[in-house]
Amino acid sequence: MKILAIETSCDETALSIVNATGPIKSPKFKVVASEIASQINIHRPFGGVVPNLAKREHEINLPILLEQLKTKNLKLKTIDLVAVTVGPGLEPALWAGIEFAKNLAREYNKPIIGVNHLEGHLYSFLLPKKTGIMNDELRISNSKFPLIALLVSGGHTVLLKLSSMTKWKKLGETLDDAVGEAFDKVARLLELPYPGGPEIEKLAKEGKPIIPFPRPMLHQKNYDFSFSGLKTSVLYYLRDHFPLKRGEAADVAASFQQAAVDVLVKKTMRAVEEFGARAVIVAGGVASNKFLRDTLKKEAAKAGAEFFCPQFGYNTDNATMIAAAGYINYLRKRKLPIKANGNLGI
Ligand code: KG4
Ligand code: ZN
């Protein structure tokens, strides 16, 4: 089936057309075309995403992206299903995508399906490397469960235990800031531009993780996380060491990144051990971080668990992952209300 997917939950406006086939256990996806308009430059002066500005930009970008899809010789009347993110996210931003999806579905007389943004991240590891190629190797089977999934983005930090592709239990989540939010806030303290995650990663490469920042909740027996204390420790360190000596900012970045990754990886691996997991997934914007991916991959290998991570470009927000999650919802006959729900859980 051919799916047109729409993603507007935060600061990326994204449209994607995906051919999806196969059962839930071995879905196959081929990206026909995908468009993303990033609003990073618009929100950068504010140091974060401004919801009403995001909505306005989505409304401007969506018809432009649709025209770009049409110029690639894509006939919208051949679409079988419209999939749209209904939450979680910034509600004004979600409204823009939902209105657009409803209008398209009405105009072309197509069914519409709602998608949970976090399920998009969860299933993004199934997507093929390149546009025009089908992921024909079977990437997931019964032998991979139970599976532990770590979803890490600007808005969420969640640990899940999956017993199948569609059944999971939330083991824990952040009690305050999401880990991506902590990267962004620490970047701001270091006067690096928004979004801070990639900037911290880059700067960390020039430094050493020698500052003993705390590993919040590492030794607690639950699977919850907390990152606001870590960010505050960075703030105090910067205040006490003002002005930083040459090269010291890189040590701060490396030490913060090490502390955050330590907590994420250790808690994930503790869950792998406790539940005898056969595989591990990491996904979401922060999974673009190579240090996190490499560390988790190494630890998963030591524990004999297979490691999955989305292909390049599918960690940060995109509409292709929404098409994948929309297809799985369709196969499950699962209907989410076509209504923005900023706090939709997983
Ligand atoms: O999944 P995503 O694109 O949007 C949300 O759903 O939130 O994630 C964005 C977050 C931002 O906080 C950004 O700083 C972080 O992902 N991020 C990174 C890296 N690339 C993006 N964090 C650490 N290292 C990176 N390389
Ligand atoms: Zn996201």
Q: Could you tell me the distance, in angstroms and rounded to a whole number, from the CA of residue 156 to the centre of ligand 2?
A: 8
Q: Can you tell me which atom of ligand 1 is nearest the CA of 284?
A: 1
Average pLDDT over residues 186-207: 96
Q: Is 146 in the pocket of ligand 1 (CB under 6 A)?
A: no
Which pLDDT belongs to residue 139? Answer: 58
pLDDT digits (tens, 9 = 90+) for 49-63: 899 999 999 999 999
DSSP sequence for 49-90: --HHHHHHHHHHHHHHHHHHHHHTT--GGG--EEEEEEESS-
User: 0.85 cut: is pTM over it?
Assistant: yes
Q: Could you tell me the distance, in angstroms and rounded to a whole number, from the CA of residue 237 to the centre of ligand 2?
A: 30
| Distance, CA of 316 to CA of 138 (rounded, Å) | 24
Q: Is there a cis peptide before residue 88, judged by omega within 30 degrees of 0?
A: yes
Q: What are the two backbone dihedrals, phi and then psi, of residue 130, each rounded to the nearest 5 degrees?
A: -130, 155
Q: Is 207 in the pocket of ligand 1 (CB under 6 A)?
A: no
Residue nearest to atom 19 of ligand 1 (CA): 197
- Return the SS3 of 47: coil
- Complete edge-to-edge strand list for the sheet that includes strand 279-283: 168-173, 157-162, 147-152, 279-283, 306-308
pLDDT digits (tens, 9 = 90+) for 141-189: 778 999 999 999 999 999 999 999 999 999 999 999 999 999 999 999 9
| Distance, CA of 214 to CA of 103 (rounded, Å) | 50
